[in-house]
Amino acid sequence: MKLYHGSPHKLDLLKPQQAKGMNEFENIKGVFLTKTFLHSSLYAIGKTLKGETAFGVSKNKLVILGNLKPKESYVYEVEVKNPIKGHRGQYASEEKLKPIKKTKVFPKDYEKNIIRVKNKEDIIKKLKSNSK
């Protein structure tokens, strides 16, 4: 199955990492993946803000708290034989993955997919309204 991984880092090999999430799937040690290039692009761009501000990602929107500018990042295309299926279009692999393709992505190319909010509560509201 062709899947995508978004990261702010330039990588040659995708290695499983211990996640910290809100449910069992989001707490496994794995390489987290999505079905679409767009979803992984938005996640990768958002991750460039980690530690500086809060953000959230849906399949087609990146919601950012405040006006910080995200940086360029990378999307990796991989082939996974038996991924673990999560929810909201997420998958994971507990194995190391060698990317088939690496694409650099730029925030300016996704401006129509980025929403800025003034408080953390609005991140959840915007993500929920986009999932309908």
C-alpha 106: how far from chain center: 14
Dihedral (CA of 74, 75, 80, 82) sign: positive
Does residue 131 surpass a pLDDT of 70?
no
| pLDDT at residue 75, as a whole number | 98
Query: What span, in angstroms and rounded, lies between the C-alpha atoms of 107 and 119?
Result: 21
For domain 2-130, the CATH class is alpha beta
Residue 45 binned pLDDT confidence (cut-offs 50, 70, 90): very high
Does residue 14 surpass a pLDDT of 90?
yes
**Judging by beta carbons within 10 Å of its beta carbon (0-12, 13-18, 19+), is residue 104 exposed, middle or buried?**
exposed
Query: What span, in angstroms and rounded, lies between the C-alpha atoms of 3 and 56?
Result: 20
pLDDT tens for 117-128 read: 999 999 988 888
Does residue 51 surpass a pLDDT of 80?
yes
Residue 19 binned pLDDT confidence (cut-offs 50, 70, 90): confident
Residue 11 binned pLDDT confidence (cut-offs 50, 70, 90): very high
| pLDDT at residue 22, as a whole number | 66
Query: What span, in angstroms and rounded, lies between the C-alpha atoms of 63 and 15?
Result: 27
The residue ranges of every structural domain in the chain are 2-130
Tell me the pTM.
Answer: 0.90
| pLDDT at residue 38, as a whole number | 97
Residue 48 binned pLDDT confidence (cut-offs 50, 70, 90): very high
Question: Could you tell me if 117 and 52 are in contact, meaning their C-beta atoms sit under 8 angstroms apart?
Answer: no
Mean pLDDT of 93-113: 97
